[in-house]
Amino acid sequence: MAEHNELGKLGEEMAVEFLKKEGYIILETNWTFQKAEIDIIAKKENTLAIVEVKTRSSLDFGLPQDFVKTKKIQLLVKAVDAFVNERDLDFEVRFDIIAIHKEGKSFNIEHLVDAFYHF
């Protein structure tokens, strides 16, 4: 596996653990619909958090969250709509980003709640 893929997988694992510690229940990871993949679908109280995880080895090229583009957001909206409808769920839906970057030998994790809105 390429190094960036391993870093991405590690980032997603760290994000899952972070969310669990924050009281979220993880419903799905790497859930796919057509061309979209949702990294993490988590629930806390009456809110469904759709979480995009961005992991970077450094901030040399910008913040991890800056790499979530409009096309990705549109795919996520379509996918979460399918997820909610397939399961007939009645939750508030929120889109979050967990941005992770390496700092020396450790990682900095930032949870951006309500990071973007429907387009």
pTM of the model: 0.87
CA dist 47 and 44 (Å) reads 5
If pLDDT is split at 50, 70 and 90, which confidence band does 4 have?
Answer: low
If pLDDT is split at 50, 70 and 90, which confidence band does 118 have?
Answer: very low
3-class SS at 1? coil
CA dist 44 and 19 (Å) reads 10
> CB count, 10 Å around CB of 24?
21
pLDDT at residue 42 in the model: 98
The residue ranges of every structural domain in the chain are: 3-112
**Topology of domain 3-112, CATH:** Trna Endonuclease; Chain: A, domain 1 (3.40.1350)
